[in-house]
């Protein structure tokens, strides 16, 4: 027999009403977007009782407003240096975490530019395996008057690849190049 | 125009208008005959063919539950292929699925001509239909359009491949039937039918793969309860460790998955309902050697050409990894109308939760705190009237509403939160005669979308962006069958999609390729006009299908390199931005299967795709390479305890992709490759239990290769030799209707 049983449709309609209810997708400005970032690298160089801090600052972490200060160095001077790293978006001192996991991190310093040969950097700290870290270092500027150069600072993270103190990893956390003026 | 099919012989014919039919040259003995017509319950009869004339008459009753879309109800019997659709359609039926059990869904579909996969290591594969994937493909699971985070190339469909009783792939635009997004094609996964009026039925399937020491188990059980009720429950579990290339272990490429699905059905007279629920849960590891910091790292990894670290095999999955849960509940109800038509209403709810874990997190435990997580919920309501055939015309009309919301978790922010609602209405009609079928339809979709990106994408407060999109989809197709064994089908289809939320608002670095991707809030909708023509032939010894197509897209959205790289404190990244261009994709695909001599069969399939920008004539990036697959299959003699025993050997040859835009990619396309696959399968009947088993060796010679559409091709080879063993045991009434 043929009959139209519309009662059957009560089921799916009821089902969708029960499930749909109310649901908001408005973002919570406090809770969303806490992405982990590195936004600021501060390099402090000290010599002859004076210390100057040079910063690379990327306030959003995405390069939109990246600013890198120029290092002004004295010819024929040896500086003791230290590095601090911050996430200003989340208010974190990333440098502390690097120090905690120093066996998984290493800073590499690569001089460049016309006077590259006059810059040399040696890490002065070691991790638990006796390998360099680079949070503190010594920067030597050879004599020879004024000139221009650059100093690239790379932070490698060693997760899978073992840290050997010489080679970089494929996981670069920081890679900035400071312009350098030698006076 | 009833179809008369002899499934065991792979033969068939159609009745004329008066319902008469005639078949000659049948072998003597018992033959199963099946009669089918759209909208009617198929009828099966067994007859004993003797010498001379045999007469067999049946009456079809109009009790079948509606039409199976525009596609003639069911099945892969070769003969039905001729009049299956005006579109180019490929089907994996129960038998073919058995041979592929245990593989990922993408891997199964890649067996079909015109379908390739976009892989992100061994754990993630996405189907690519005629060069298009992700948001340009619609996936329908158990009648409900799958709604996951489709936009990512490393986001595989969240579907248990074991749950499929039948898989159908529509190649080309199908906007009228499937709405927004059906630009490149459609993948339909149908669970097995409920076992109404049957005693307990079910199956157990066990599969093992050597390359990644992968084990996969699945079991299903169901039964009919009295006349009106039936149910089925199906579950599966899999665990795989690291895959290996001929030279290296692909570190952290393991995965695991547990899925459960249940269906309950009730029917009485012309009414019925069906409640279906499924849970999909997986954890996928991503090759850790592909996780790089910046562009300089990528360049060094490409130069090295192999992983920096020698990984050891393990089942452990560490970050980077993905955890995905997908739940679906649907309830559909149908009833007959006094006019003889059918009305059907289906409500669906889906929840898709994706968490991606980055390799290292400074503030937390990388394995516990996701780098980002997304929670997408979708509600849908579809109504459709399936018309009973009236003087050669049949079809269906319908309307649907879908609403969804996507929310970010506490960490990370890759795409903004959004809400959207889509309203659609369509009509699709077919005019069918025994030599000619004409298929036409039209559809209108309207989408309202509200997203909450940051003010200038990267920073600033969250803002509200409300956009609306609407367009018309249409189809016109024919099937012409000038000769009994030949048919020609052609289809002109229009489809569209709105820009994806990632294409509008994405902003950030894509790890693994070290490219900085920026969304483009000004994107318009993308439209496609697809033409394809298909030639089909089915005879006793030869089956072939050959399609040519041209898919013209207006406002095709893709990533285009920007002239200036992006310099951040993490280093330099090549910058890409979503742009829209007019492009044309064209290509050929097809297959042939022939009985060569005696019990030796040969088969071949091939796919070719070409994609170009219309204005600049530049080739499109990431188009699948040309490929051909040929093979031989030898059917062994039947024995009382061993049946369907066959041996096969296949050669798969993939060319190097020589058509790509200069200066965009980071490494040249990898070389072409040739793989050899061999295997044996059969059914061993012990007592009354048929055990189907197979042994396959893929990549027999352990060849090292990289596919152009492998996202890890910059870092490591694709997996090497893989030996697989499969076993499948059905219980309950078997295919011949005997009770075991």
- Counting residues of chain A whose pLDDT is more than 70, the rounded percentage is 85
The CA distance from B716 to B243, in Å, is: 11
Contacts of B271 in chain A (CB under 8 A): 5, 8
**Strand, coil or helix: what is B281?**
strand
Is the per-residue pLDDT at B68 higher than 60?
A: no
Assembly ipTM: 0.86
In a domain, A19, yes or no: no
Mean predicted confidence (pLDDT) in B142-147: 92
The CA distance from B231 to B261, in Å, is: 11
Angle, alpha carbons B550-B551-B552 (nearest 5°): 110
Token pair of B469, please?
Answer: 């999109």
The CA distance from B81 to B91, in Å, is: 9
Residue pLDDT, tens place only, B563-606: 888 888 988 888 889 999 999 999 999 999 999 998 999 999 99
Read off the CATH number of the domain in which A162 is found: 2.60.40
Is the per-residue pLDDT at B673 higher than 80?
A: yes
Q: What is the pLDDT of residue B665?
A: 85
Is the distance from CB of B463 to CB of B427 less than 8 angstroms? no
Token pair of B53, please?
Answer: 């004339």
Q: Report pTM.
A: 0.87
Partner B, chain A 33-52, Cβ-Cβ below 8 Å = 33-36, 38-41
Token pair of B29, please?
Answer: 């003995």
Q: Looking at the DSSP assignment, which residues form a beta bridge with residue B285?
A: B321
By mean pLDDT, which of A159-173, B176-190, B250-264 is the weakest? A159-173
Mean predicted confidence (pLDDT) in B406-425: 86
Query: From the CB of residue B226, how many other CB atoms can be counted at a distance below 10 Å?
Result: 8
Q: What is the pLDDT of residue B737?
A: 39
Q: Check CB contact under 8 Å for A60 and B362.
A: no
Contacts of B360 in chain A (CB under 8 A): 157, 159, 171
What domain range is A51 assigned to? Answer: 39-182
Is the distance from CB of B70 to CB of B89 less than 8 angstroms? no
Element at B196 (helix H, strand E): none
Is the per-residue pLDDT at B418 higher than 50?
A: yes
Token pair of A149, please?
Answer: 């150069």
Residue B175 main-chain phi, psi, to 5 deg: -65, -30
- Counting residues of chain B whose pLDDT is more than 70, the rounded percentage is 87
Q: What is the pLDDT of residue B14?
A: 67
A19 touches chain B (CB under 8 A): yes
Q: How far is C-alpha A135 from the chain's CA centre?
A: 13
Q: Check CB contact under 8 Å for B566 and A62.
A: yes
**Which of A23, A31, A174 is the closest to B410 by Cβ?**
A31
Q: What is the pLDDT of residue B181?
A: 92
Spans of all domains in chain B: 3-49, 78-731
In a domain, A6, yes or no: no
Q: Looking at the DSSP assignment, which residues form a beta bridge with residue B202?
A: B221, B731
Is the distance from CB of B2 to CB of B36 less than 8 angstroms? yes
- In total, the C-beta contacts within 8 angstroms joining chain A to chain B are 191
A123 touches chain B (CB under 8 A): no
> Mean pLDDT, chain B, as a whole number?
86
Q: What is the pLDDT of residue B740?
A: 35
Residue pLDDT, tens place only, B32-59: 677 766 555 566 666 666 656 666 666 5
| Overall domain count for chain A | 1
Q: What is the pLDDT of residue B8?
A: 62
The CA distance from B456 to B192, in Å, is: 49
Q: First CA to last CA across chain A, in angstroms?
A: 102
CA distances from B504 to A124, A126, B253, B521 (A): 48, 47, 31, 4
The CA distance from B372 to A34, in Å, is: 9
Mean predicted confidence (pLDDT) in A119-145: 94
Q: What is the DSSP string of B473-524?
A: EEEEEEEEEEETTEEEEEEEEEEEEPPPHHHHH-EEEETTTTEEEE--TT--
Is the per-residue pLDDT at B507 higher than 80?
A: yes
**Which of A12, A66, A172 is the closest to B297 by Cβ?**
A172
Exposed / middle / buried, residue B199 (Cβ in 10 Å: 0-12, 13-18, 19+)? exposed
Token pair of B89, please?
Answer: 């359609």
Q: Which CATH number fits domain B78-731: 3.30.479.10, 2.40.170.20, 2.20.25.90, 1.10.3720.10?
A: 2.40.170.20
Identify each DSSP E strand in B292-364 by its residue range.
321-336, 342-357
Higher pLDDT, B153 or B596: B596
In a domain, A17, yes or no: no
Q: What is the pLDDT of residue B554?
A: 96
Q: Check CB contact under 8 Å for B300 and A13.
A: no
**Which of A41, A160, A162 is the closest to B288 by Cβ?**
A160
Residue pLDDT, tens place only, A55-80: 999 988 788 889 999 999 999 999 99
The CA distance from A139 to A109, in Å, is: 10
Q: What is the pLDDT of residue B52?
A: 60
A20 touches chain B (CB under 8 A): yes
B602 touches chain A (CB under 8 A): no
Token pair of B1, please?
Answer: 């125009």
Q: What is the pLDDT of residue B79?
A: 55
The CA distance from B719 to B706, in Å, is: 9
Query: From the CB of residue B544, how many other CB atoms can be counted at a distance below 10 Å?
Result: 18
B463 touches chain A (CB under 8 A): no
Q: In the block, which residue shows the tokens 């079928």?
A: B437
Q: What is the pLDDT of residue B28?
A: 64
B451 touches chain A (CB under 8 A): no
Is the per-residue pLDDT at A30 higher than 60?
A: no
Residue pLDDT, tens place only, B72-117: 333 334 556 777 788 888 888 877 888 888 888 888 898 888 999 9
**A143: distance to nearest CA of chain B, Å?**
31
Residue B480 main-chain phi, psi, to 5 deg: -120, 130
- The secondary structure of residue B96, as a DSSP letter, is H
Mean predicted confidence (pLDDT) in A116-124: 95
- Counting residues of chain B whose pLDDT is more than 90, the rounded percentage is 54
Is the per-residue pLDDT at B65 higher than 50?
A: no
B288 touches chain A (CB under 8 A): yes
Q: What is the pLDDT of residue B296?
A: 87
Partner A, chain B 342-381, Cβ-Cβ below 8 Å = 345-347, 349, 359-363, 371-372, 377, 379, 381
Estimate the share of chain A in helix, then strand, then coil, as percent rounded to the nearest 5. Answer: 15, 40, 45
Is the per-residue pLDDT at B9 higher than 80?
A: no
Query: In chain B, which residue's Cα lies nearest the Cα of A57?
Result: B569
Residues with Cβ within 8 Å of B355's Cβ and at least 6 positions away in sequence, in order, are B322, B323, B324, B370, B372, B373, B374, B409
Contacts of B507 in chain A (CB under 8 A): 62
Is the distance from CB of B389 to CB of B365 less than 8 angstroms? no
| β-bridge pairing A119-123 and A105-112 | unpaired
Higher pLDDT, A136 or B166: A136
A32 touches chain B (CB under 8 A): yes
């Amino acid at each position: 027999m043929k009959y139209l049983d519309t009662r059957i449709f009560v089921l799916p309609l009821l089902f969708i009403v029960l499930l749909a209810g109310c649901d908001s997708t408005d973002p919570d400005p406090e809770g969303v977007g806490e992405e982990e970032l590195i936004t600021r690298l501060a390099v402090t160089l000290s010599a002859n009782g004076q210390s100057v801090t040079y910063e690379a600052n990327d306030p959003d972490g995405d390069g939109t407003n990246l600013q890198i200060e120029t290092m002004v160095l004295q010819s024929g001077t040896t500086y003791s240096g230290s590095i601090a790293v911050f996430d200003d978006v989340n208010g974190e001192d990333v440098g502390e975490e690097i120090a905690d996991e120093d066996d998984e991190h290493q800073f590499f310093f690569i001089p460049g530019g016309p006077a590259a040969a006059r810059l040399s950097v040696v890490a002065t700290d070691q991790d638990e395996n006796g390998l360099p870290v680079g949070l503190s270092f010594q920067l030597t500027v050879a004599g020879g008057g004024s000139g221009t150069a650059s100093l690239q600072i790379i932070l490698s993270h060693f997760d899978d690849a073992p840290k050997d103190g010489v080679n970089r990893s494929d996981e670069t956390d920081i890679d900035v190049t400071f312009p350098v003026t030698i006076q | 125009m009833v179809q008369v099919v002899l499934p065991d012989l792979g033969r068939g014919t159609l009745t004329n208008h008066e319902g008469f039919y005639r078949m000659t040259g049948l072998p003597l003995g018992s033959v199963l005959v099946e009669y089918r017509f759209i909208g009617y319950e198929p009828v099966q009869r067994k007859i004993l063919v003797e010498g001379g004339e045999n007469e067999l008459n049946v009456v079809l009753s109009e009790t079948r539950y509606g039409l199976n879309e525009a596609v003639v109800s069911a099945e892969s019997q070769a003969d039905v292929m001729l009049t299956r659709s005006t579109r180019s359609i490929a089907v994996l039926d129960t038998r073919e699925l058995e041979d592929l059990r245990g593989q990922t869904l993408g891997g199964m579909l890649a067996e079909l001509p015109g379908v390739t996969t976009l892989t992100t290591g061994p754990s993630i594969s996405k189907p690519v239909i005629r060069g298009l994937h992700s948001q340009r493909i619609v996936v329908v699971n158990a009648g409900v359009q799958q709604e996951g985070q489709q936009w990512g190339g490393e986001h595989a469909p969240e579907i248990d491949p074991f749950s499929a009783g039948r898989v159908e792939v529509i190649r080309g635009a199908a906007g009228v039937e499937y709405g927004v997004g059906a630009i490149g094609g459609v993948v339909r996964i149908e669970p097995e039918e409920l076992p109404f009026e049957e005693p307990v039925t079910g199956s157990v399937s066990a599969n093992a793969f050597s390359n990644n020491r992968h084990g996969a188990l699945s079991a299903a059980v169901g039964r009919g309860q009295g006349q009106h009720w039936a149910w089925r429950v199906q579950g599966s579990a899999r665990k795989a460790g690291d895959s290996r290339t001929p030279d290296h272990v692909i570190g952290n490429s393991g995965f695991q998955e547990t899925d459960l699905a249940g269906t309950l059905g009730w029917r009485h007279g012309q009414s019925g309902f069906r409640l279906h629920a499924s849970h999909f849960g997986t954890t996928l590891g991503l090759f850790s050697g592909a996780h790089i910091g910046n562009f300089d790292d990528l360049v060094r990894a490409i130069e090295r050409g192999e992983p920096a670290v020698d990984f050891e095999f393990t089942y452990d999955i560490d970050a980077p990894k993905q955890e995905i849960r997908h739940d679906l509940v649907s309830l559909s109800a149908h009833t007959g109308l006094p006019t003889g038509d059918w009305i059907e209403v289906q409500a669906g709810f889906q929840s898709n939760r994706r968490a991606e874990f980055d390799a290292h997190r400074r503030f937390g435990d990388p394995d516990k705190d996701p780098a980002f997580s997304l929670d997408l919920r979708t509600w849908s309501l579809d109504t459709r009237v399936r018309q009973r055939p009236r003087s050669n015309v049949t079809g269906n009309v319908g309307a649907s509403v879908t609403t969804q919301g996507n929310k970010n978790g506490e960490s990370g922010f890759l795409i903004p939160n959004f809400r959207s609602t889509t309203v659609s209405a369509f009509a699709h009609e077919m005019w069918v005669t025994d030599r000619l079928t004409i298929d036409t339809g039209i559809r209108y979709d309207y989408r309202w979308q509200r997203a909450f990106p940051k003010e200038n994408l990267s920073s600033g407060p969250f803002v509200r962006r409300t956009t609306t999109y609407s367009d018309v989809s249409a189809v016109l197709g024919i099937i012409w069958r000038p000769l009994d064994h030949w048919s020609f089908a052609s289809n002109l289809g229009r489809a569209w999609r709105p820009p994806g939320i990632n294409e509008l608002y994405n902003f950030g670095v894509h790890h693994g390729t070290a490219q900085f991707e920026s969304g483009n809030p000004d994107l318009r909708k993308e439209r496609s006009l697809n033409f394809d023509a298909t030639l089909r032939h089915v005879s006793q010894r030869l089956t072939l299908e050959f399609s040519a197509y041209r898919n013209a897209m207006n406002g095709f959205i893709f990533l285009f390199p920007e002239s200036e790289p992006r310099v951040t404190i993490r280093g330099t990244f090549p910058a890409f931005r979503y742009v829209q261009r007019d492009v044309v994709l064209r290509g050929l695909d097809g297959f042939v299967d022939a009985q060569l001599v005696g019990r030796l069969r040969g088969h071949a399939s091939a796919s070719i795709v070409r994609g170009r920008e219309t204005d600049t004539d530049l080739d499109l990036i990431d188009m699948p390479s040309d490929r051909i697959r040929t093979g031989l299959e030898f059917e062994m003699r039947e024995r009382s305890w061993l049946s369907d025993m066959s041996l096969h050997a296949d050669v798969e040859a993939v060319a190097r992709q020589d058509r790509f835009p200069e200066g965009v990619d980071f490494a040249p396309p990898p070389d072409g490759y040739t793989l050899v696959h061999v295997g044996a399968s059969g059914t061993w009947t012990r007592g009354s239990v048929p055990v189907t088993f197979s042994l396959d060796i893929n990549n027999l010679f352990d060849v090292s290769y990289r596919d152009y559409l492998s996202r890890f091709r910059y870092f490591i080879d694709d997996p090497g030799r893989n030996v697989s063993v499969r076993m499948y045991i059905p219980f309950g009434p078997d295919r011949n209707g005997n009770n075991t």
